[in-house]
């Protein structure tokens, strides 16, 4: 039944939630009801509070048709943020889409750690900028900081540009297409990177939301997951300013090896920061001053 063929009683928001939840449950989604509520609000262009206060409000036929499409996409295991078109990160609402991975809570740990350990940084580089989550947070939290975001994907850069514009940061956040730190023309006080770190052999075990939908170029770190991180570590000595900080997000079980990579690159004060699940998630080092 299409959105335009529904009976009036089916257009009530509460009925739409029940119908969407049944479809998502059939697709095997564990949080079917909660996701159905978000999808109904997304299709209606309303905040979640609207559904709680006005569950008997009517959807228009156009909104019902939009909801049907969104529920179908989610039932095919497209990530919910892609379906909704936005995701929360560091209390910010960011545009997201299949050009870049969905920003995750683990990367908030990277942002917090970098900001805490480089309070005087004036020029930061976000390597693998994706949708721009880290670059936007750094610039908003440090009004005196200039940020350069780098990515090999021009589609990701277009998405990042939307988020930079959304928060009015165009004068302080620049973007460049390129490989790792190659586009950087001056030494940075801070380098942050959430590079691909999933081992190639682990992809068959990933959730379909990740393996089928998120861009593999932003996830696949090669045989041991460290191919790009290893290359980046080799560039840090010549691209960091004296006393500069590098902060890298890593996968479970990779922190020790990445810490050794930073030490071999000449960085000191190397430390590991756990995420909210107590998994070693961020490795930080400082270039000698």
What distance lies between CA 16 and its chain's CA centroid? Answer: 29
pLDDT for res 1? 40
For residue 81, being part of any structural domain is answered with no
Of the candidates 138, 182, 176, which has an alpha carbon nearest to the alpha carbon of residue 156? Answer: 176
Q: Which of 31, 46, 76 is the last residue of a domain?
A: 76
Asked if residue 40 and residue 116 are part of one domain, the reply reads no
For residue 31, being part of any structural domain is answered with yes
Buried residues in 6-41 as b, exposed as e (16+ CB within 10 A): beeebbbbebbbebbbebbeeeebeebeebbbbbbb
Measured on CA atoms in the order 200, 129, 249, 109, is the torsion positive or negative?
negative
pLDDT for res 7? 55
pLDDT of the chain along its 289 residues, tens only?
Answer: 444 555 555 689 999 999 999 999 999 999 999 999 999 999 999 999 999 999 999 999 999 999 999 999 999 999 999 999 999 999 999 999 999 999 999 999 999 999 999 999 999 999 999 999 999 999 999 999 999 999 999 999 999 999 999 999 999 999 999 999 999 999 999 999 999 999 999 999 999 999 999 999 999 999 999 999 999 999 999 999 999 999 999 999 999 999 999 999 999 999 999 999 999 999 999 999 7
Asked if residue 123 and residue 11 are part of one domain, the reply reads no
Structural domain boundaries, residue 23: 3-76
- Rounded Cα gap, residues 227 and 229, in angstroms: 6
Q: Which of 76, 106, 138 is the last residue of a domain?
A: 76
Q: Which CATH number does the domain housing residue 226 bear?
A: 3.40.50.150
Tell me the whole-structure pTM to 2 decimals. 0.93
Asked if residue 207 and residue 69 are part of one domain, the reply reads no
Asked if residue 71 and residue 93 are part of one domain, the reply reads no
For residue 180, being part of any structural domain is answered with yes
- Contact present, 195 and 221 (Cβ < 8 Å): yes
Q: Which of 76, 105, 132 is the last residue of a domain?
A: 76
For residue 139, being part of any structural domain is answered with yes
- Rounded Cα gap, residues 270 and 263, in angstroms: 7
Asked if residue 119 and residue 192 are part of one domain, the reply reads yes
pLDDT for res 11? 87
Q: Which CATH number does the domain housing residue 16 bear?
A: 1.10.8.10
Helix axes 255-264, 227-239, angle to 10 degrees: 30
| CB atoms closer than 10 angstroms to residue 284 | 23
Asked if residue 101 and residue 34 are part of one domain, the reply reads no
For residue 91, being part of any structural domain is answered with yes
For residue 50, being part of any structural domain is answered with yes
Asked if residue 258 and residue 236 are part of one domain, the reply reads yes
Asked if residue 262 and residue 123 are part of one domain, the reply reads yes
Q: How many domains does the chain have?
A: 2
Asked if residue 102 and residue 71 are part of one domain, the reply reads no
For residue 8, being part of any structural domain is answered with yes
pLDDT for res 26? 97
Sheet containing 240-249, strands listed edge to edge, beginning at the edge strand earlier in sequence: 173-177, 146-151, 123-127, 188-193, 240-249, 280-287, 267-274
Asked if residue 91 and residue 35 are part of one domain, the reply reads no
SS3 per residue for the chain? CCHHHCCHHHHEHHHHHHHHHHHHHHCCCCCHHHHHHHHHHHHHCCCHHHHHHCCCCECCHHHHHHHHHHHHHHHCCCCHHHHHCEEEECCEEEECCCCCCCCCHHHHHHHHHHHHHCCCCCEEEEECCCCCHHHHHHHHHCCCCEEEEEECCHHHHHHHHHHHHHCCCCCCEEEEECCCCCCCCCCEEEEEECCCCECHHHHHHCCHHHHHHCCHHHCECCCCCCHHHHHHHHHHHHHEEEEEEEEEECCCCCHHHHHHHHHHCCEEEEEEEECCCCCEEEEEEEECC
Asked if residue 92 and residue 18 are part of one domain, the reply reads no
For residue 209, being part of any structural domain is answered with yes
Asked if residue 65 and residue 151 are part of one domain, the reply reads no
């Amino acid at each position: 039944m299409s959105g335009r063929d529904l009976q009036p009683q089916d257009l009530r928001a509460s009925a739409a939630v029940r119908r969407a939840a049944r479809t998502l449950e059939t697709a095997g989604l564990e949080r079917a009801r909660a996701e159905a509520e978000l999808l109904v609000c997304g299709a209606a262009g309303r905040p979640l509070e609207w559904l709680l206060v006005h569950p008997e409000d009517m959807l228009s036929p156009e909104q019902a048709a939009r909801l049907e499409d969104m529920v179908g996409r989610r039932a095919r295991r497209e990530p919910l943020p892609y379906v909704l078109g936005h995701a929360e990160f560091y209390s910010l609402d960011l545009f997201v889409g299949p050009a870049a991975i969905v920003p995750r809570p683990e990367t908030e740990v990277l942002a917090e750690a970098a900001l805490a350990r480089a309070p005087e940084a004036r020029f930061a580089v976000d390597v693998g900028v994706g949708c721009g989550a880290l670059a936007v947070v750094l610039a908003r939290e440090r009004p005196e900081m200039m940020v350069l975001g780098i990515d090999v994907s021009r589609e990701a850069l277009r998405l990042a540009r939307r988020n930079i514009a959304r928060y009015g940061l165009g004068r302080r956040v620049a973007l460049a297409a390129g490989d790792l730190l190659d586009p950087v023309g001056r030494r940075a006080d801070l380098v942050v990177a959430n590079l691909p770190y999933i081992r190639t052999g682990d992809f068959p075990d990933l959730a379909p939301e990740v393996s089928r939908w998120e861009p593999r170029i932003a996830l696949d770190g090669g045989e041991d997951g460290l191919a790009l991180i290893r290359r980046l570590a080799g560039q840090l000595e010549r691209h960091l300013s004296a006393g500069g900080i590098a902060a890298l997000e890593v996968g479970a079980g990779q922190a020790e090896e990445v810490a050794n990579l930073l030490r071999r690159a000449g960085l000191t004060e190397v430390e590991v920061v756990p995420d909210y699940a107590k998994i070693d998630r961020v490795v930080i080092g400082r270039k000698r001053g």
